[in-house]
Amino acid sequence: MSEKRQLAILWISTLSVVAAIFFPVRQNLSEQAPVVSGVISSLPVVEEPIPKRIGEGDNLDLEAPIALAIDLNSQKILFEKNIDEFWHPASLTKLMTAIVVLNTVSFDEVVEIEAVDTDVAQPKMGLVIGERVTVETLLKGMLIASANDAANTLARVVTGSPERFVDLMNLMGKQLQLNNTRFKNTTGFDSDGQLTTAWDLKTLVFEFLKNEKLASIVQIDSTVVQSVDGGRRHWLTSSNKLVTRENILGVKTGFTEEALGNLIILAQDHGNQILTVVLGSNNREAETLKLIDWVFSNYTF
């Protein structure tokens, strides 16, 4: 492991200790106690017009057990449903995987694929043992196509093992005050104790979107990436079916048998941006669009 990477990992660990001292976790996930919403720390508070509800409006009925819509500028909650209820994150986990990678290695670092990287369930981007690719290529595979082989590779490159990488994910979670989130793997596979909340996911996405390169990757509908020698190509298609829409700016999908359909979306209308989180839906795209339409129809910005 390079000295630069060791220093980056030490930096994450140090910041997490400081966060634990000055911002102690108010809830213990294992206790399953009532949750108190965390503090938004990822984006600076700016003086922006606060959205106002248009009259009483119609109440929104979503089948998804958990949903949240929040104005990106003022951070005002526009819709909420069980936003502190624990849920399986599925591949939304990869947002944290990307954040840890961002803080430990450079995008242009070249990585050689090993057998352990490809020994994982679908979806995969089709990495081949011995192939050499950049970290940026792996991030694209993980965030666009939700490729598990890319996530596996990134974890190995940063810390040498998935277990050690997960430790970094949870340390970063403490730093970001994700007080009700615990990670057990880098991909989002269902695992006992791997849980989060819509409120924590909102904070996680705010941190993710602060990096322009990551924010631009999750807006890509489809692309082709290749090995550094140009010998192999990988066609990536976004798992996010809504990203082709003009008013959608990313962000990420997730699905497992326990989580069902999870979807986080950044949407805009006439320059006004909102973030939506829908968890546990049998029709995540339709319900997300329903939520977005309801917000822009029932609020003035």
Structural domain boundaries, residue 173? 46-300
> Tell me, what's the pLDDT at 188?
97
Position 136 scores a pLDDT of 98
pLDDT of 249 above 60: yes
Distance CA 189, CA 192 (A): 10
Decide if 41 contacts 174 (C-beta within 8 A): no
Between 241 and 42, residue with greater pLDDT: 241
Is residue 146 a part of any domain in this protein? yes
- Supply the mean pLDDT for the chain: 89
| 4 part of a folded domain | no
The answer to whether residue 7 sits within a structural domain is: no
Nearest to 125 by CA among 156, 95, 147, 151: 147
Asked if residue 32 has pLDDT above 60, the reply is: no
Residue 95 has a pLDDT of: 98
Please compute the mean of the pLDDT values over residues 261-281 and round it to a whole number. Answer: 97
How many Å from the N-terminal Cα to the C-terminal Cα in the chain? 49
Domain-located, residue 35: no
221-242: per-residue pLDDT in tens?
999 999 999 999 999 999 999 9
CA angle 66, 286, 62 (to 5 degrees): 35
How large a percentage of the chain has pLDDT more than 90?
81
pTM: 0.85
Sort strands 272-281 and 66-71 into parallel, antiparallel or unpaired. Answer: antiparallel
Q: Cα separations (Å) of 118 from 95, 109, 146, 174?
A: 20, 19, 14, 30
Annotated catalytic residue: which of 16, 37, 81, 91?
A: 91
Residue 11 falls inside a structural domain:
no
pLDDT at 23: 39
- CATH number of the domain enclosing 126: 3.40.710.10
Which residues are annotated as part of the binding site? 252
pLDDT of residue 59: 84
Q: Which of 230, 210, 259 is nearest to 102 (CA)?
A: 210
Q: Is 191 a catalytic residue?
A: no
Better-predicted residue by pLDDT, 172 or 13:
172
Q: How large a percentage of the chain has pLDDT more than 70?
A: 83
Residues facing residue 268 across a β-bridge: 273
* Nearest partner of 94 among 54, 148, 46, 135, judged by Cα: 148
Task: Check pLDDT > 50 for residue 18.
Answer: no
Taking only the tens place, the pLDDT of each residue in 51-80 is 999 867 668 999 999 999 999 999 999 999
What is the per-residue pLDDT across 187-214, written as a single tens digit (0 to 9) for each?
Answer: 999 999 999 999 999 999 999 999 999 9
pLDDT score recorded for residue 12:
62
- For residue 55, with 0-12 CB atoms within 10 Å meaning exposed, 13-18 middle and 19 or more buried, which class applies? exposed
Q: What pLDDT score does 54 carry?
A: 87
* Residue-level pLDDT at 17: 52
Give me the number of domains the chain comprises: 1
List, as one string, the DSSP characters of 114-152: -HHHH-SPSP-----TT-EEEHHHHHHHHHHS--HHHHH
The single residue of 16, 124, 140, 146 carrying the catalytic annotation is 146
Q: Which residue has the higher pLDDT, 154 or 29?
A: 154
Here the tokens at position 262 are 């999870």
- Kindly report the length of the chain: 301
Residue 274 lies in a domain: yes
Please, which pLDDT band fits residue 13 given cuts at 50, 70 and 90? low
Q: Which residues are annotated as a binding site for substrate?
A: 252
Taking the C-alpha atoms of residue 261 and residue 258, their distance in angstroms, rounded to an integer, is 9
pLDDT in tens, 76-120: 999 999 999 999 999 999 999 999 999 999 999 999 999 999 999
pLDDT at 2: 63
What does 89-110 look like in DSSP terms, one character per residue? -GGGHHHHHHHHHHTTS-TT-E
Give the model's pLDDT for residue 44. 54
The rounded distance, in Å, linking the Cα atoms of 221 and 242 is 9
91 a catalytic residue: yes
- Rounded to an integer, the average pLDDT of 142-163 is 96
Residue 6 lies in a domain: no
- Is 25 domain-assigned? no
**Contact 235/216 with Cβ under 8 angstroms?**
no
Catalytic residue check, 30: no
Q: Which residue in the list 16, 37, 94, 202 is annotated as catalytic? A: 94
Distance of CA 220 to the CA centre of its chain: 15
The pLDDT assigned to 49 comes to 77
